[in-house]
Chains A and B, each alone.
Chain A
Amino acid sequence: MVGILQEQHPGRARLFMQWKQMDWPLLVDPLNLLGVSVVPVTVLLDEYGIVRAINPKQDEFQQFMEEVYPEPKHMDAPRTGRSDLAALEQAALGHDPDALRNYADALFLWSDESHLDEAIEGYTQALQKDPEHGPTHYRLGVAFRRRYESPFRRANDFNQAAQHWGQALDIDPNQYIWRRRIQQYGPRLDKPYSFYDWVIQAREEIEARGETPVTLTVEPGGAELAYPAQTFDPAPTATRPEPDPGGRIIRDEQGLIQIEATVVPATLQPGGSGRVHVVLRPDQSQKAHWNNEVDDLVFWVDPPAGWEVDTHYLTVGRPPEAVSQEVRKVEFELKIPDELTGPVTIPAYVLYYVCEDVDGTCLYRRQDVSLRINVAGGRK
């Protein structure tokens, strides 16, 4: 038994295998170099690596186990070891899209995260030559998302990932591996299931066995744990009053808190729904810190008439320390009107307590957030 994993975060599969006590070899294919359009797929390979059945039925399985297969007249010599990055880089200098993709693939798979910039550049250059190549859009999206989760993160990385995954799916709407990547971070109406709710049960059962669950480098949360919904569940109006209706709270002109918003999917269909991911980070260069001594962060969104949101008023809790620098996240879902076309910006704002340094001045500040929603032209 051997596995190939189609997943961005292999550590999660490691936890899954610990949970299910699976110990067979697993190869990780985060870029979907294999080109499969669905999972799971079971493939039976004979002693020579020839495919003998795909998703076999019981009789095919039995026949496979009993059959003595002939040795092929010709077999490609297996390639072993890591890719020769220097040779691939040299080949990419000719700007052939295949060579650029191969170099970017190798950088992604075999280099550390400090080389993600180069991988992203390689895929981007390949797309300039070959803009309708869906797999390159998908892989570029994967690279952007990985950089977003790395210490080398740049502004807009998650947004770029969502956009390229969307472009990939536009090119091939039957590619379910790509579709699932968008749904992983997308709205509940589009989800076929909760993607990582099993993590909670897995940890409980592993601990009950007296083992320590594998530590995840990227913890699933928000959209990745959300359950599917059949209908959009709008927030009841006026459950909480708007926190700063007159706009009297002083704005965070210094940018002590950096805010980045991403909508998934990157382009909504008229009448469709999206999930908005808002990430708030204290600006390290200014030594900004959250002030945790007063009250929770508040996020407020009140879209125009005809729009629906699943909540208007969100809060983010505080750690026990007086000050902290953690990343805070807000997620909510919206549904846009049927007749809407073109990009639309909806207003939102955040209220928070922030300090200029560990022992610096602490302030109560507001930051306005413009959420840009891209809407596909015409009716669905």
Chain B
Amino acid sequence: MLSSWASFAGIALIFLMVASVGAAAPSGLQVGQPFPLLTLPALADGQPRSLADFRGGKVILHIWASW
């Protein structure tokens, strides 16, 4: 379990290094509520994808930017 956390924390650190802009929680997201069912283009092929496509397994979601 610690290695999962370490892997997760390592990736999180990458994002903190490139795009740390604040500590406030994002608007519109609430613990205990469903994640919004947005359909967005996938980076890989531009095809429509939604977080609902990943239902059935636990998801670690990173919302980030490369800047």
A residues touching B (Cβ–Cβ < 8 Å)?
Answer: 1-7, 10, 12-17, 20, 22, 25-29, 33-55, 58, 61-62, 64-66, 72, 75-76, 78-83, 109-110, 174, 176-177, 179-180, 184, 192, 195-196, 198
| Residue in A53, A58, A81 whose beta carbon sits within 8 Å of that of B39 in the complex | A81
CB neighbours (8 Å) of B27 from chain A are: 35-37
Shortest CB distance B34–A (Å)? 5
Shortest CB distance A330–B (Å)? 23
CB neighbours (8 Å) of A75 from chain B are: 34
CB-based nearest A residue for B50: A78
CB neighbours (8 Å) of A15 from chain B are: 66
| Residue in A28, A42, A62 whose beta carbon sits within 8 Å of that of B41 in the complex | A28
Interface positions of B from 29 to 50, Cβ below 8 Å from A: 29-44, 48-50
- Give the distance in Å from the alpha carbon of A174 to the alpha carbon of B23 in the complex: 12
Q: Knowing A46-B58, A184-B67 are in contact, say whether A176-B36 is a contact too (CB < 8 A).
A: no
Contact A41 B26 (CB under 8 A): yes
Shortest CB distance A285–B (Å)? 33
A-B contact count (CB 8 A): 220
- Give the distance in Å from the alpha carbon of A40 to the alpha carbon of B66 in the complex: 10
Closest 3 CB pairs of A and B: A78-B52, A36-B26, A40-B15
B residues touching A (Cβ–Cβ < 8 Å)?
Answer: 1, 4-5, 8-9, 11-12, 14-16, 18-44, 48-67
- Give the distance in Å from the alpha carbon of A109 to the alpha carbon of B50 in the complex: 14
CB neighbours (8 Å) of B23 from chain A are: 38, 55
CB neighbours (8 Å) of A79 from chain B are: 37, 39, 50, 52
CB-based nearest B residue for A199: B66
30 CB-based A-B contacts, threshold 8 Å: A2-B59, A2-B62, A3-B64, A4-B64, A5-B64, A25-B44, A25-B54, A28-B43, A35-B28, A37-B24, A38-B22, A42-B62, A43-B29, A44-B60, A47-B55, A47-B57, A49-B52, A49-B55, A49-B59, A52-B32, A54-B25, A54-B29, A55-B25, A65-B1, A79-B37, A79-B50, A82-B39, A110-B48, A180-B21, A180-B65
Contact B51 A2 (CB under 8 A): yes
CB neighbours (8 Å) of B51 from chain A are: 2, 27, 45, 49
Q: Knowing A27-B42, A42-B60, A198-B66 are in contact, say whether A51-B33 is a contact too (CB < 8 A).
A: yes
- Give the distance in Å from the alpha carbon of A180 to the alpha carbon of B64 in the complex: 13
| Residue in A22, A45, A195, A196 whose beta carbon sits within 8 Å of that of B35 in the complex | A45
Contact A42 B61 (CB under 8 A): yes
Q: Knowing A43-B63, A45-B61, A47-B58 are in contact, say whether A52-B16 is a contact too (CB < 8 A).
A: no
CB-based nearest B residue for A224: B67
Question: A38-B22, A51-B30 provided; 6 other pairs, C-beta below 8 A?
Answer: A2-B61, A4-B61, A26-B43, A37-B26, A39-B63, A52-B31
Contact A39 B28 (CB under 8 A): no
Contact B20 A50 (CB under 8 A): no
CB neighbours (8 Å) of B24 from chain A are: 37-38, 174
CB-based nearest B residue for A3: B62
CB neighbours (8 Å) of B36 from chain A are: 34
Contact B21 A78 (CB under 8 A): no
- Give the distance in Å from the alpha carbon of A177 to the alpha carbon of B66 in the complex: 13
